Amino acid sequence: MHLQFFGAAGEVTGSCHILEVGGRRLLLDCGLIQGGAVPAERNRAPFPFDAAGIDAVILSHAHIDHCGRLPLLHKRGFRGPVHATAACRDLARILLLDSAAMAARDAEREQRKRRRGGDRHAIEPLFTTDDAEAVLRTFRAVPYGRAIGVLPGVELTFRDAGHILGSASVCVRLTEGDLERRLVFSGDLGQYDTPILRDPESGLAGDVVVMESTYGARQHRDREATLAEFGEILRRARRDGGNVLIPAFAVGRSQEVLYELGTHFDEWQLGDWQIFLDSPMAIEASDVYWRHAELFDEEARELRRRGGPMPQLPNLKLCRTVDESMAINRVADGAIVIAGSGMCTGGRIVHHLKHNLPRRECDVVFTGFQAAGTLGRAIVDGRDEVNIHGLPVRVEARVHTLGGFSAHGDQADLLRWYSGLKGRPPVWLVHGERESSDALREALTRQGVQAHVAEPGLRLDLGSLSAVGPRPGPAPD
Ligand SMILES: [Zn+2]
């Protein structure tokens, strides 16, 4: 009985761990490695295991760094089921199909580049829409809180992780001969007391815990203060004229922003704004969110009963087509535009930035982390001028960063989740940059917990709960 860490060990993206029980092999997540130039090749590299030899996948949630290589796994021979919550499955459909379209565009671009250099070899996309559709057909919906047999000797129960809709902590009871072990994989954990979603569940029981540590070194800004700041920005913007741009991830953040606009509609005097959700993907994701109201927290369910967060915004316009998006450019004043991508690396927000950044009376409100090297980061860092579509654009608009909107819990949230576990099981930390994982390990160790940072390739004997070597017996496909 073994667990081996392959992805999101020592880094944040590419979550993927393999469980071996009684001769069966099972993956926890199969995510895409994201960011920068090197990872594109890492995603194409052979898996460090035989894809056809994987019997099943358990998927914690729909973010692409957790599910993004599932189509590739299928392409390389995986034929087992993927277990996920129904909401996770619905969101994964949106994200994987988008990812396939992006892979096709990337391959075309690369091909054109090589052709100019005289290379006529065809470039295959990482995976196709057909690969994505094929793996999506293997999804099996598993509700929270119900134990189901996944494989002989593997019983799975999902618990709410409060991170995005349908996100789960994975509890598995493993049996092999006389040996029985309960493993808890946290998945990505949300903040407590966020809107729409329930809090991460407590009371989970495990002999060993694999836990995320994305913000293991951070303390988030207080939610109340964040909302007060958001309201103040919008009130002042209305007084001064101009537009407000809100770059936002399509899944999760867009819905959260809409929800806050809906619940503070009167308080923030939003009646005479035009509000645009300018992202077909965010519109689709919102449909999934509002369809799964059974997963909402009490407050959101109550709002839903009274008409729902979307209808509470009578001045919300959903922009599906490019024409509808371009029409926003004719609005000089009084538009709130929510569009992707969240870090401004592409998507419709880039066009809106081009039109509004040089205007002193406009505002740009960032609600999420901006990675180094992205357009979003350049703006947040206070550059006077940025490059958009190859042209210099002056930054005259006011730029704001709202700190309290993270989908990930901070150190206090992570410690609170751990303290809610039964017993004090040993922990292996994943899904964090080194300094975040180290900070959380130190915080846990101070509380007398046996905590380790999982090195990539580390193989854990679940019987003795000890490492049995970094990379034994790889089986490349
Ligand atoms: Zn996530």
> 237-265 pLDDT, tens per residue?
999 999 999 999 999 999 999 999 998 99
**Cα 358 to ligand 1 centre (Å):** 34
- What is the Å distance from ligand 1's center to 301 Cα? 23
pLDDT at 373: 85
Ligand 1 mean position to 190 CA, how many Å?
9
List all residues 6 or more positions away from 278 whose beta carbon is below 8 Å from its beta carbon. 319, 324, 325, 328, 337, 338, 339, 348, 349, 352
**Which H or E run contains 104?**
helix 86-116
Q: Residue range 88-92: average pLDDT?
A: 98
> Ligand 1 centre and the CA of 95: distance in Å?
12
* CA 67 to ligand 1 center in whole angstroms: 10
26 SS3 class:
strand
In this model, does residue 11 exceed pLDDT 90? no
Give the pLDDT score at 74: 98
Query: In this predicted structure, which of 7-11, 289-293, 441-445 has the lowest mean pLDDT?
Result: 7-11
> Using CA atoms, how far apart are residues 244 and 252, in angstroms rounded to an integer?
20
Residue 6 Cα to ligand 1 middle (Å)? 17
CA of 188 to the centre of ligand 1 (A): 5
For residue 11, the CA-to-ligand 1 centroid distance in Å is 13
How close is the Cα of 166 to the center of ligand 1, in Å? 11
Distance 274 CA to ligand 1 centre (A): 31
Helices 253-263 and 298-305 cross at an angle (nearest 10°) of: 60
Whether 277 shows a pLDDT value over 60: the answer reads yes
Preceding omega of 341 cis (within 30 degrees of 0): yes
Tell me what pLDDT residue 474 has: 41
Ligand 1 mean position, distance from CA 66 (Å): 7
Query: What pLDDT was estimated at residue 462?
Result: 96
Helix, strand or coil for residue 46? coil
Q: How far is the CA of 168 from the centre of ligand 1 (A)?
A: 10
Give me ligand 1 centre to Cα 148, in Å: 24
| C-alpha 62 to ligand 1 mean position (Å) | 7
Q: Could you tell me the distance, in angstroms and rounded to a whole number, from the CA of residue 405 to the centre of ligand 1?
A: 14
Q: Does residue 307 have a pLDDT over 90? A: no
Is pLDDT above 60 for 475? no
Residue 39 alpha carbon to ligand 1 centre in Å: 18
Give the pLDDT band (50/70/90) at residue 477. Answer: very low
The rounded distance, in Å, linking the Cα atoms of 10 and 454 is 7
Instruction: Tell how far CA 278 is from the center of its chain.
Output: 20
Q: Within 10 Å of residue 403's Cβ, how many Cβ atoms?
A: 16
pLDDT digits (tens, 9 = 90+) for 181-216: 999 999 999 999 999 999 999 999 999 999 999 999
CA of 359 to the centre of ligand 1 (A): 34
User: Could you tell me the pLDDT band of residue 110, with boundaries at 50, 70 and 90?
Assistant: confident
Cβ count near 325 (within 10 Å): 20
Task: Say if residues 300 and 308 touch (Cβ distance below 8 Å).
Answer: no
Given a contact cutoff of 8 angstroms between Cβ atoms, the answer to whether 215 and 414 are in contact is yes
Least confident of 153-157, 302-306, 388-392: 302-306
CA 163–ligand 1 middle distance (angstroms): 7
Inter-residue contact 103 to 43 (CB < 8 Å): no
Task: Please state, as a whole number, how many other Cβ atoms lie within 10 Å of the Cβ of residue 278.
Answer: 27
DSSP string computed for 383-412: -SEEEETTEEEE--SEEEE-TT--SS--HH
CA separation, residue 184 to residues 11, 154, 160, 205 (Å): 20, 13, 12, 7
- pLDDT for 320 beyond 60: yes
pLDDT at 276 over 80: yes
Whole-number Å distance, alpha carbon 432 to ligand 1 midpoint, is 12
Q: Is pLDDT of 62 > 60?
A: yes
Q: Which pLDDT score, from 0 to 100, does residue 455 have?
A: 87
CA 63 to ligand 1 centroid distance, Å:
5
Q: Is 45 helix (H, G, I), strand (E, B) or coil?
A: coil
CA 91 / ligand 1 centre spacing (Å):
12
- Average pLDDT, integer, range 303-319: 78
Within 8 A by CB and 6+ apart from 417, the residues are 186, 189, 200, 202, 211, 409
CA of 266 to the centre of ligand 1 (A): 32
Between the CA of 288 and the centroid of ligand 1 the distance, in Å, is 17
How far, in Å, is the centroid of ligand 1 from the Cα of 346? 20
**Residue 342 CA, ligand 1 centroid: distance in Å:** 14
Residues 164-185: tens digit of each pLDDT: 999 999 999 999 999 999 999 9
pLDDT at 94 over 70: yes
How many angstroms does the Cα of residue 64 sit away from the middle of ligand 1? 8
Q: What does the pLDDT look like over 338-356, one tens digit per residue?
A: 999 999 988 999 999 999 9
Q: Could you tell me which of 155, 182, 216, 194 has the C-alpha nearest to residue 435? A: 216
pTM of the model: 0.93
Ramachandran area for residue 187 (φ above 0: left; ψ -120 to 50: alpha; else beta): left
> What are the tokens at 286?
């919102």
Across the range 140-144, mean pLDDT stands at 98
What's the gap in Å between 388 CA and the centre of ligand 1?
28
Determine the pLDDT at residue 309. Answer: 53
Q: How far is the CA of 238 from the centre of ligand 1 (A)?
A: 34
Going by pLDDT thresholds of 50, 70 and 90, the confidence category of residue 473 is very low
Dist. CA 61 → ligand 1 center (Å): 7
* Ligand 1 centroid, distance to 252 Cα (angstroms): 10
Distance 414 CA to ligand 1 centre (A): 14
Q: What is the pLDDT of residue 308?
A: 59
Ligand 1 geometric centre to CA of 399 (Å): 26
Q: What is the mean pLDDT of the chain?
A: 93
Cα angle vertex 26, ends 23, 30, to 5°? 150
For residues 442-460, average pLDDT: 95
pLDDT the model gives residue 369 = 82
CA of 395 to the centre of ligand 1 (A): 31
Q: What is the pLDDT of residues 65-75, one digit of tens each?
A: 999 999 999 99
Predicted confidence at residue 8, as pLDDT, reads 67
Q: What is the pLDDT of residue 13?
A: 77
Query: How close is the Cα of 96 to the center of ligand 1, in Å?
Result: 14
What is the distance in A from the centroid of ligand 1 to the CA of 120? 38
Average pLDDT over residues 120-134: 94
Please name which of 234, 212, 83 lies closest in space to residue 147, comparing C-alpha atoms. Answer: 83
